[in-house]
Structure 1
Amino acid sequence: MYQLLNNLRVLEASSFVASPLAGLYLAQMGADVIRVDQIGGGPDFRRWPQAESGASFYWEGLNKGKKSLALDLARPEGREILKALATAPGDTGGVLLTNFPANGFLAYEGLAALRQDLILVRIMGQANGGSALDYTVNCAIGIPQMTGPETLAEPVNHVLPAWDLLTGAYSAFALLAALQHRQATGSGQEVRVPLSDVGIATIANLGQIAEVVVGGQNRPRYGNAVYGAFGRDFVTRDGRRLMIMAITARQWSGLIDVLGIGPAVAGIEASRKVSFAVDEGLRFLHRDALFPLVEAAVASRSAAELGEAFDKAGCCWGPYKTVLEAAGDPELVGANPVFSTIEQISGHSYPVPGAMATLPQLNRSLPTRAPRLGEHSDLILAEVLGMSSGQIGKLHDQRLIASA
């Protein structure tokens, strides 16, 4: 964690992936992020994967370094407390991150009447207010039709919630952009980030909308081959599977040298009147001839032998690993300064990441565990709203708030 945003307080009323992730990224850069949940936990509080106790590793991971306030949001009095926190005065506050409905009790117009310079970043499913999740967005923009073996008829979903992750990162960026605008002009605003817009805009930014509109047809499946470049998985003599890429000219020449296939590649170039030296697209178009060469050469060498030679030649490659293997990899986790082993609220100690960015001029702080639900309820109400211990005690008696 770094202290770049330590003059920023963000109230986060959210659940699932995108919104908590945006709050996590802000917290890892020093923001005081206050997560507000329903007493007893929101819909993601017990989400899988879980510890044997039922504690959610998922919830722990997305809420590291935040403070926790537990409110009864089903009652008007609890909602009023949330609104008061979101619109509390002061230069460091007036920032709300949420995926609550646009027309609910956190509607921008009502909150802006309480604080004119409020910044509200709202993560949505669809721009029209409709419901959407990562997997419904993914199927609607055509990705499952391009994923999987070439011979497969049905669509293939993938396990990485890519649009949730991009939406969370983009929302953190949009929040800071709105904050910079407020600092320059004094004006607040609502920023809406629909998951569906992030998904369709992203594939358009990658040229995939232009590809089908101009070409008039969908991109077919290519299995594990990387579209438009040389890249695929290959199996070594000792049965290890490696992902081997060659996008740049250096990577391509290094691959040829290591595998000793230069004369054979030159023969293909001569017979087909092409040059693979600088054009990655041509390597893809002629993969029917290139892949068998690489397959045979890789199959004749061990993974360790190839890995050492690839590294010396500046090739781009990577071994296929399970998540368990990756978790035990010193370079990825064990000796990686991004990770520290800390005890979480589940009672388990395991490696957790801090900020993914490295700032060489600043000291990297250790990541902080996720809070217990309601752990900071009293502290938040006292510090942000200036409530006395008697007032806070009364809210406990009324069961409007809860503590850990």
Structure 2
Amino acid sequence: MNTTPLAHLQVVECATFVAGPSCGMSLAQLGAEVIRVDLPGGGNDHQRWPLAHTGASLYWANLNKGKRSVALDYRTPEGRELLLALAARPGRGAGILVDNMVGRHRITHEDLTARRPDAISVHVLGFPDGGPAVDYTVNAAVGVPNLTGPNGPAQPVNHVLPAWDLLAGSSAALGVLAAVNRREQTGEGSRLDIALSDVALSAVGAMGWLAEAEQHGDRAPHGNHLFGSFGTDFATADGRRVMVVALTEGQWRALYEVTGTAKVFAALEAAFGTDLRAESARYELRETIASILRPWFAARTLDELTTQLTGTRVLWSPYRSMSEAAALARADAGSVARPIQQPGIGEMLATGYPLRWADDLTSPVPAPRLGDDTEAVLAQELGMAADEIGRLHDRKVVACEPTPR
């Protein structure tokens, strides 16, 4: 099975942090040639945490898997010309730029189309008007932290996952493919802008949360309970915790059958005149249901629960640390995560693209070191001679030796 369907695409990425680089990473993992362009010495994210024991950025290495790296100073006239030439170079699958550049050094869509009328640009920004924002400020502005956290007085709770950045990256990659398809159909290029604030608002709107707020007011946080159905966490006899969810009637039946609580819940239904086969009823009585189930989970260790719940229709999972998740992924031959040899780091557990093509997964490919491919790209893609590249290097317009991490 061919898992490199985008091998005909040549993308230039000039972006830092998560959204733009994750777009390029997805395209690279599906076979596109993605050339990441950074300033010599690296951009703002080159040494971002977490760091490896060698001091290199695990963050940078993982978001740039499978790309090529060019280091050039696009703030200089010569460097800007090189970036434009790379982004607008000829070829059926070329002429594509993904960026989050700001200020006077930014390469605009008009700059590209002056060189190549059918160019495709995808510009990642904070707000549609160009105002600055990052995932964590957008998340606060869209109201999600006020839905999260324990019961009681509303105190916003941030999350650590940059969900809007990652969703913006996926949306940007989809935008690239849509624009390429349009170009192949019509011969026309495309200017695409994707704002983190739009991504967040679109996502919460798709789940009905905006409409809910207008019709019913703000939803109060309620700890680890699942909204609108039954789902919550339980402590085990050995101090672990598990998450248990009953979205469907079948999952609910399996839960009370395994726990031997069918008669208790039948009595509860009679007492309240309700039917717990309905999600809404399970949600309304969530605290009572949890209190009935809690002793059953508290009397068993995680190993005992695993034995009793495996093979049933109960929907559950233990809470694991990231170290436990990594160990399980490493031990699983069919996992999307596999160890690779990453320059500057050594062996590193990394992930490939999560789409499974029949039974095939794309294996993760190491990231380049910063500037690894500068000389090769300038020579191969722009036809520059070695002495010309050398002069640019001497003037610090480009960096040809890989920058240590």
Asked whether the two chains share a fold, i.e. TM above 0.5, the reply is: yes
Contact kept, 8 Å, 2:53 with 2:345, in 1: the verdict is: no
Question: 2:299 maps to what in 1?
Answer: 300
Instruction: Supply the distance in 2 between the matched residues of 1:242 and 1:338 (Cα, whole angstroms).
Output: 24
Structure 1: gaps spanning 5 or more residues = none
Task: String of CA shifts for 1:366-393, please: whole Å, max 9, x gaps.
Answer: 3211101111111111222122223222
Instruction: Supply the distance in 2 between the matched residues of 1:155 and 1:382 (Cα, whole angstroms).
Output: 52
Contact kept, 8 Å, 1:102 with 1:129, in 2: the verdict is: no
Task: String of CA shifts for 1:113-168, please: whole Å, max 9, x gaps.
Answer: 11100010111100000000001001001111111111254211111111111111
Instruction: Supply the distance in 1 between the matched residues of 2:340 and 2:243 (Cα, whole angstroms).
Output: 33
Question: 1:257 maps to what in 2?
Answer: 257
Contact kept, 8 Å, 1:57 with 1:346, in 2: the verdict is: no
Moved more, 150-159 or 99-108: 99-108
Pairing of 1:20-59 with structure 2 (within 5 A) = 20-59=21-60
CA displacement at 1:171 relative to structure 2: 0.7
Instruction: Supply the distance in 1 between the matched residues of 2:320 and 2:335 (Cα, whole angstroms).
Output: 21
CA displacement at 1:253 relative to structure 2: 0.6
CA displacement at 1:318 relative to structure 2: 0.4
Question: 2:268 maps to what in 1?
Answer: 268
Instruction: Supply the distance in 2 between the matched residues of 1:29 and 1:377 (Cα, whole angstroms).
Output: 23
Question: 2:61 maps to what in 1?
Answer: 60
Pairing of 1:164-243 with structure 2 (within 5 A) = 164-215=165-216, 217-243=217-243
CA displacement at 1:333 relative to structure 2: 5.5
CA displacement at 1:307 relative to structure 2: 2.1
Q: 1:386 aligned to 383, 387, 395, which one?
A: 383
CA displacement at 1:348 relative to structure 2: 2.6
Task: String of CA shifts for 1:157-206, please: whole Å, max 9, x gaps.
Answer: 11111111111111111111111111111000111000000001110100
Q: Which amino acid aligns with 1:322?
A: S
CA displacement at 1:334 relative to structure 2: 3.8
CA displacement at 1:300 relative to structure 2: 2.2
Q: Secondary structure of 1:221's partner?
A: coil
CA displacement at 1:364 relative to structure 2: 4.1
Instruction: Supply the distance in 2 between the matched residues of 1:83 and 1:91 (Cα, whole angstroms).
Output: 17
Q: Secondary structure of 1:34's partner?
A: strand
Contact kept, 8 Å, 2:344 with 2:369, in 1: the verdict is: no
Relative to the length of structure 1, the TM-score reads 0.95
Task: String of CA shifts for 1:197-221, please: whole Å, max 9, x gaps.
Answer: 0001110100000001112x10001
Pairing of 1:360-379 with structure 2 (within 5 A) = 360=358, 363-379=360-376
Instruction: Supply the distance in 1 between the matched residues of 2:370 and 2:62 (Cα, whole angstroms).
Output: 14
Instruction: Supply the distance in 1 between the matched residues of 2:6 and 2:74 (Cα, whole angstroms).
Output: 28
Contact kept, 8 Å, 2:29 with 2:362, in 1: the verdict is: no
**Identity across the alignment (%):** 41
Relative to the length of structure 2, the TM-score reads 0.95
Contact kept, 8 Å, 1:231 with 1:243, in 2: the verdict is: yes
- Between the two proteins, the alignment pairs up a number of residues equal to 400
The reply to whether residue 132 of structure 1 matches residue 148 of structure 2 is no
CA displacement at 1:273 relative to structure 2: 1.3
Moved more, 246-255 or 338-347: 338-347
Task: String of CA shifts for 1:299-329, please: whole Å, max 9, x gaps.
Answer: 1223222223222221110001111111111
CA displacement at 1:358 relative to structure 2: 1.0
Contact kept, 8 Å, 1:141 with 1:199, in 2: the verdict is: yes
Q: After the TM superposition, which parts of structure 1 deviate over 3 Å for at least 4 consecutive aligned residues?
A: 102-105, 363-366
Instruction: Supply the distance in 1 between the matched residues of 2:336 and 2:287 (Cα, whole angstroms).
Output: 41
Question: 2:146 maps to what in 1?
Answer: 145
